[in-house]
Structure 1
Amino acid sequence: MHTPTSARQIDGARFRAVLGSYPTGVAIVTCIDEHGLPAGMVIGTFTSVSLDPPLIGYLPMKTSRTFARMGGSPSFCVNILAADQESVCQHFASAAEDKFAGLAWHPSPAGNPVLDGVVAWIDCDYASVTEVGDHYIVLGGVLDMALERDTSPLLFFQRGYGRFTPGPLVAAAERETIEAVQLAEIGRDEMEAVAVELEAECSLVAAVGGDVVYVATENRSPDFRLRSRLGLRVPCAPPLGPLFVGGPGAPGDAEWIGRLGRADQDTIDASLAQLERVRTRGWSIALQGPDEGENLEEMVALYSDRHRTPGQERRLLEAAKERAGLHEPADLPDDGRYDLRHLSVPVRDGAGRVVLVLRLSALPPGASLLQVRQWLARLQQSAARLEHTITARRARSPAPRLRA
């Protein structure tokens, strides 16, 4: 066997990009170190190796201080993370001194930490450790193993985390979208009346599966003949979708903020301030940026494809974060002129939950604050009538109804 010289000619970024197109599971290897303390590290290179004898393998970096610390233990445990444990993964990948602080775990038969909520765990001893390039290949002889939860695993793909979604779950999301469309049909007359009266685009959007989805739209703007937004969706993540946060089909406050990923404290604080402004005002506003156009619309279209990749999702989230300052501005001077991307008001059911948002867009540029307030008042008028209609119809029949 020989070492190929061509490997030295491959750029590291290119190597990661190409290999990142192959999804891998995410696991945390744990043990009790020689001082009797729990230790653990994230691995994305775990694999089964042999059935007879039962062997598994993973590849830690040779520079890993955690792996060096774990070498004093005669055994280790592979914890296969569940799709809802991305925060656990991020915690172990962080620079936190105590990776087990605040995390619940229990000992495996070999005494190694098994994190609560994992899909499965595998206790192993060391069959071999071999140096290869800048990594070790660790082979573990399986001592014991068990399934903990019947749920989807966490996947790593194109530098992003996600989950495998089987057909029945896709069907469930489609049912929720259908229910949202049926609910929007109740408000179609109001939506169309606003579009005609204001010569603008008026849409009804709903929160479905953590996304904000356009479920009905009408464009009567003489100047903006836009591609139809019907069916388009964006992630309910800062600064998007604040009116829905905490309601049916949308993330709660902590999950909404968590979708920022590894954000600095200033970004987190700014997002929380935007959320609070929306809740205090009772409506949402987004301004048009100077460089917005086909590129952003194309990113939204790619995200709306059910077969989107984590890379496409990440690019849209990054674009949204870059434009965060255009959403929910703290100050709206009376003498200002405003180019609106959209103006939105909530539509609530009888229980006070936001089930739809009435959104106005494709508006003339350079609007005065007085004009913005007039548009807002007209939207709120229609939203109030729509709320009354929804409440009355649901009193007669429970359908359509969005899942909480």
Structure 2
Amino acid sequence: MQATPPTRQIDGARFREVLGSYPTGVAIVTCTDEHGAPAGMVIGTFTSVSLDPPLIGYLPMKTSRTFARMRGSPTFCVNILAADQEAVCQHFASPAEDKFAGLAWHASPAGNPVLDGVVAWIDCDYASVTEVGDHYIVLGGVLGMQLERDTAPLLFFQRGYGRFSPGPLVAAAERETIEAVQLAEIGRDEMEAVATELNAECSIIAAVGGDVVYVAVENQSPYFRLRSRLGFRVPCAPPLGPLFVGSPGAPGDDEWLKRLGRPDQETIASALAQLERVRSRGWSIALQGAGEDENLDEMVALYSNPHRTPGQERRLLAAAKARAGLHEPAELLDHVSYDVRHLSVPVRDAGGQVLLVLRLSALPPAADLDRIRQWLARLQLSAARLEQTIAARREHCRAARLHA
């Protein structure tokens, strides 16, 4: 007599959190239903099962109406999504009635939809469908398959989408960082002079791989003895990094906004207004918030870890979004005191592209507008000197190469 398995009390949210720490690939299973219309659903459970005979598997929910509809077809096709197809995945996961509207696709040999741009597709028939808990286990017998693109697949991890970064890509990012550090070394004397003169922290930051990275730091502030920010990075996403937007190593306007996730129109309009103010002024300012600065710094430290998780990135972006009103205020008033978190100015090349940013932080509290203007003028003077030094250094290197 078979024993009845014990009842297990597992919290559903905790179950999803723990299992979400394991990354999965993302695919879309498609078919042509019994009425001849294309049908499809997103799955994150696709797996190879057997080589002899060739079998694959996936696990749809028993309550899935799309899967119930797809059972009317004798075959199905697994479309393995590419890393740049997150929008396709989101479209199929939406409540839209026609999931194929506006999407390019062609028929597989078995007559199932193959979405343009996928990494690969696999045609199958149903080897078996087994009920297990609140899901089915579907085993598919492979009928045919094809690699379509030599590119990285879309991954799902901790409720976020991303991609696998192979060694050469990581090495490229490291090279960009090294180049930024070498450029910052040219400005070290200016940075140290500003920090000493203003009794503040002065940093040189650069845009690398879509992030803003602290590549040189000098802290002479008697007000705040912060942990060293050297090597710290933050995502170039609203309201962060506006001086870099559109420059090498940083996202363009649209990509900058996309990192907000799914914002409402008011949030988008506010971010664009801040970006326009920064471009019009030619400098950037952020004010201190009420408390939780240590929590924010801890989030930045976690994000700066090369092994950060999507969850850590989401928390930092959410914290930045919550503090967006402290960035780039529309108006700074005379006879009002401000606690400035940081004040930043660009260092540009001869073509106007932002190479680096000089940033002042750890400043004395309760500064009036006149004092802020003095800080800004001193920072802009150093940025201008640094631009001249970099231009002269590059001209010297070009001349040396011509005569080599």
Specify the TM-score bucket, using the shorter chain as the normaliser.
Answer: over 0.9
> Unmatched 5+ residue regions in structure 2?
400-404
Report the counterpart of residue 402 of structure 2 in structure 1.
none
Q: Which moved more, 1:172-181 or 1:126-135?
A: 126-135
What is the identity percentage for the equivalent residue pairs of Structure 1 and Structure 2? Answer: 84
Report the counterpart of residue 6 of structure 1 in structure 2.
7
Structure 1 position 263 matched with structure 2 position 263: yes
Q: Which moved more, 1:353-362 or 1:372-381?
A: 372-381
Report the counterpart of residue 291 of structure 2 in structure 1.
291
Report the counterpart of residue 236 of structure 1 in structure 2.
236
Q: Which moved more, 1:340-349 or 1:85-94?
A: 85-94
| CA shift in 2, pair 1:277/1:66, >3 Å | farther
Using the TM superposition, give the Cα deviation of residue 3 of structure 1 relative to its aligned residue in structure 2, in angstroms: 6.2
Q: Where in structure 1 do 4 or more consecutive aligned residues deviate above 6 Å?
A: none
Q: Structure 2: how far apart are the matches of 1:398 and 1:215?
A: 25
Structure 1 position 245 matched with structure 2 position 245: yes
| TM-score, with length taken from structure 1 | 0.93
Q: Structure 1: how far apart are the matches of 2:5 and 2:282?
A: 63
Using the TM superposition, give the Cα deviation of residue 281 of structure 1 relative to its aligned residue in structure 2, in angstroms: 2.0
Report the counterpart of residue 126 of structure 2 in structure 1.
126
Report the counterpart of residue 393 of structure 1 in structure 2.
393
Q: What letter matches 1:394 in structure 2? A: R
Q: Which moved more, 1:24-33 or 1:172-181?
A: 24-33
Structure 1 position 367 matched with structure 2 position 380: no
| CA shift in 2, pair 1:361/1:306, >3 Å | same
Question: Per the alignment, in what secondary structure is the counterpart of residue 56 of structure 1?
Answer: strand
Using the TM superposition, give the Cα deviation of residue 2 of structure 1 relative to its aligned residue in structure 2, in angstroms: 6.4
Q: Structure 1: how far apart are the matches of 2:300 and 2:27?
A: 31
Q: Which moved more, 1:303-312 or 1:29-38?
A: 29-38
Give runs of aligned pairs for residues 154-233 of structure 1, distance below 5 A: 154-233=154-233
| CA shift in 2, pair 1:113/1:3, >3 Å | farther
The one-character-per-residue Cα deviations of 1:76-116 (angstroms, maximum 9, x if unpaired) are 22111222222222222223333333333333222322222
| CA shift in 2, pair 1:302/1:72, >3 Å | same
The one-character-per-residue Cα deviations of 1:62-85 (angstroms, maximum 9, x if unpaired) are 222222332333322211122222
Give runs of aligned pairs for residues 277-356 of structure 1, distance below 5 A: 277-356=277-356
| CA shift in 2, pair 1:232/1:46, >3 Å | same
Using the TM superposition, give the Cα deviation of residue 176 of structure 1 relative to its aligned residue in structure 2, in angstroms: 1.0
Using the TM superposition, give the Cα deviation of residue 338 of structure 1 relative to its aligned residue in structure 2, in angstroms: 1.2
Q: Structure 2: how far apart are the matches of 1:352 and 1:36?
A: 56
| CA shift in 2, pair 1:390/1:108, >3 Å | farther
Q: Structure 1: how far apart are the matches of 2:398 and 2:83?
A: 32
Aligned length: 398
Report the counterpart of residue 381 of structure 1 in structure 2.
381
Larger Rg: 2
| TM-score, with length taken from structure 2 | 0.93
Give runs of aligned pairs for residues 62-211 of structure 1, distance below 5 A: 62-211=62-211
Question: Per the alignment, in what secondary structure is the counterpart of residue 156 of structure 2?
Answer: strand
Q: What letter matches 1:255 in structure 2? A: E
> Unmatched 5+ residue regions in structure 1?
400-404
| CA shift in 2, pair 1:279/1:55, >3 Å | same
| CA shift in 2, pair 1:246/1:266, >3 Å | same
Q: Which moved more, 1:31-40 or 1:21-30?
A: 31-40
Using the TM superposition, give the Cα deviation of residue 186 of structure 1 relative to its aligned residue in structure 2, in angstroms: 1.4
Q: Structure 1: how far apart are the matches of 2:347 and 2:133?
A: 58
RMSD: 1.9
The one-character-per-residue Cα deviations of 1:113-137 (angstroms, maximum 9, x if unpaired) are 2222222111222222222221122
Using the TM superposition, give the Cα deviation of residue 286 of structure 1 relative to its aligned residue in structure 2, in angstroms: 1.1
Using the TM superposition, give the Cα deviation of residue 398 of structure 1 relative to its aligned residue in structure 2, in angstroms: 6.0
Question: Per the alignment, in what secondary structure is the counterpart of residue 40 of structure 1?
Answer: strand
| CA shift in 2, pair 1:36/1:300, >3 Å | same
Q: Structure 2: how far apart are the matches of 1:247 and 1:30?
A: 40
Q: Structure 1: how far apart are the matches of 2:273 and 2:76?
A: 44
Q: Structure 1: how far apart are the matches of 2:36 and 2:275?
A: 44
Report the counterpart of residue 402 of structure 1 in structure 2.
none
Q: Structure 1: how far apart are the matches of 2:76 and 2:354?
A: 48
